[in-house]
Structure 1
Amino acid sequence: MIQPENPEFDNAVLSHADYTENPEIKPGLLPDSLEILESYWLYPPHSYAVIVKDEEKNLQYMIFEPKITEKEHIILEETDAQLRSVVLYDSKPQNEQLNLDSELVYKIVKNLDQNIADDRIEVIRYYLYRNFKGYGKLDPLMHDENIEDITRNGPDIPVFIFHRKYSNLPVNIIFEGGELNRFVLKIAQKADKQLSLTAPLVDAALPEGARAQITYTDVVSSKGSSFTIRKFKSDPMTPVDLIDYGTYDPEILAFIWLCVKNRKSAIVVGGTASGKTSMMNAFSLFIPHLAKIVSIEDTREMPHKNWLHMKTREREFIGIGQRKCRYVLSF
C-alpha cells in the first residue's frame, strides 16, 4: 500500500468530537446589517451553518465551506477524474459504497502539485468525499440534525429547509437548470430508482434513511426539476419523547399500549409532515421484543430481532404471510 510522504497527514485534522465550540465567524464574512442568531458545525472543520436575521426581521440559513483557489479547483477536477477511473464500486449499487482511500488521494494530489500543503489536501479530500459519496453542494444540509425537510422547487430559486427551531428558512444555495437536472438524477441513482422523461416522478428512500420525492424536468412540474427530502432524527422517537413534547398524554399512550398488547388493529391518518411515521416508530416500541414484525415501506431501525423490512413495488402484490405474522406495520 502506498504510504503518504507525511505520516501525520491523516491526523492533520481534528476529529468531529474535538469541535465542541461554535465556529468562529471572521470579521467581514457577513454584512454588518445581518444579526447572527446561531452558528454551529455541520461537518467540522470544513462546513458550518450560520442563521442570521436582516433588518426586516427575515431569517436565513447560510452554509459556509472552505474556499479553494482556481489552481486548487483544477487539481480537484483532475483528482476526481483519476479517481473515477480507479475507484472500485461496491457490489450493491444502492449503497454506493466507494473506497475513497485517503492515501491514494494524497498521492494523486501530490503528483499534481508537490508544493501543496497537507491542510489544503484535506480540503480537496473533503470536496471529493462530498461529491463522490455525499450530495454535492447539498451535503452539508444532510449533516444537520436540526433540519427536517429540504426542498427545491425549481432552478434559480433558493433551497428551502424546515428547521426544528426556526421553521422555514431559505438557504444560500441555488441550482441552475442543467445543474438541477443532474442533481435529481443523482438522488434517484442513490436510491436505486429510475428517473426519466417517461418516469418523471419518483418517491424513494435514500441510503441514510431519508425520504425523497423527485420530479424531473417540466413534465409534471411547471418550474422544472424539483425535489423534497424528508430527514429523520438519528435516534427514533420514543413514547417518552411524545409525552415530553406534549404530543400525547400518558393516559392515551397507556391505552395504545394495551391495544398493541392485545393485538388490536389501528389506522394512523394525517397530512404530510404531521408525524405519522414518527408516531408509528414510537408505538412500535410497545411491541414485544421477540414478536414477529413485518414492516412495509420506510421506517427507522427498530430494536426488534424478529423483524422483516419490506418495500412496496408498483403493480405487484407481495404475499407476506399475515396469518403467521402477529404485527404488520405499513408506513
Structure 2
Amino acid sequence: MENSNQTLPSWFFLLGLSTVPHLQVLGFFTFMIMYIITLLGNGLLLITVRISPTLHTPMYFFLSNLSFIDICFSSTIVPVILINTVSTDKSISVGGCVFQMFFSLVLGAAECILLSVMAYDRFVAICRPLHYSSIMNMRFCIILALIPWTVGFIDSCIQVPLTWRLPFCRTHHLNHFLCEMPSFLRISCIDPWLNEVAMYVGAGIIVLCSFLLTLISYVYIISTILRIRSSRGRQAAFSTCASHLTVVTLYYGTIMSMYLRPPSSHSPEADRNVSVLYTVVTPMLNPIIYSIRNKEVKNCIMNIKEQQNCQKTF
C-alpha cells in the first residue's frame, strides 16, 4: 500500500443528522432543549443531594455519580452536534475526534457498569434490609463507584489506539454526528478484524455482563416485591421497577445494537438513530426516572425552596 494511503488526515468531516435545511433547524432546537433539560435535571439532583443530609445514603451517592457521568457524557457529544448543525464547516480535527471518542467510550462504559452497581444496591436494600448498612458501607460504596471509571478508562485505552492505528483512505467524511468507532471501521482501507474482535470482546464483557447483573438483581427484587402484602406497596414498587427497567433496557439495548451487531448489518441512518438514544435521550431521562419522581428528592427540593423563601423574608 502506498504511503499516501497510510497518512492520517488532519481533519474529518461529520455529515451530521440531516442535510435538509428545515430538519437541521428542527434538530438544532430539539437537541438544544434536550441538552438543557439534561444539565438542569442532573445538576438539580447533584445540588439537592449535596446540600440535603437526608439524601447522604448509598443510593443517592450512586445517583449523584450517574448524574455526573450523564452531564459529562452529554457535554462531550451534544455541543459538537449543535455547532455542526448550524455551521457550514463540518470538519473536526483529529485531536478533537480522538478526545470525543476516548471520553465517550470511558463515560459510556462507566454508565453501563454503574447501572448494574445501582441495581445491586437496590437488591441489597430490598432483599437484605437487615444487612444493608453493614454491606453498603462507605468504603465499599467508594470502591463500587471507582470500578466503572477504572474499567471504562482501561477499555478506552485499548480501543482508541487500536482504532487510530488504522489507515483511512476510503473517505474522510463520516456519515455520523460524532466520532464513534464503528464509523471509523467502515472507512478503513484494510480489514479491521482485530478492531472488531476487540470491540466485541470489550462490549461483551462490559455491556452484557452489566446487563445480566442488572437483570438478575431486578429478578430478585421483583420476587421480593411479590411477597409484599400491601397492594398499594406492591403497585408503587412495581411502578418504580418498571420505570427503572425501561431506561436500563433502552440504554443497554441500544449500545448492544451498536457494538455487538455484525458489521454487514450496520447502516449510517440506523446507527445515527441508535446513537441518539444512548448519547442524548438516556442522559436526559435518567434524572427524571431515577430521581425527580422520587418522593424523598421532591421533599428535599421543596424544603430547599422553603428555606430560600425564609431567607428572602428575613
Shorter-chain TM-score: what band?
under 0.3
Report 1 or 2 for greater relative contact order, CA contacts < 8 Å, sequence distance ≥ 6: 2
Q: Higher strand fraction: Structure 1 or Structure 2?
A: 1
TM-score (ref. length: structure 1): 0.21
Larger Rg: 1
Q: Higher helix fraction: Structure 1 or Structure 2?
A: 2
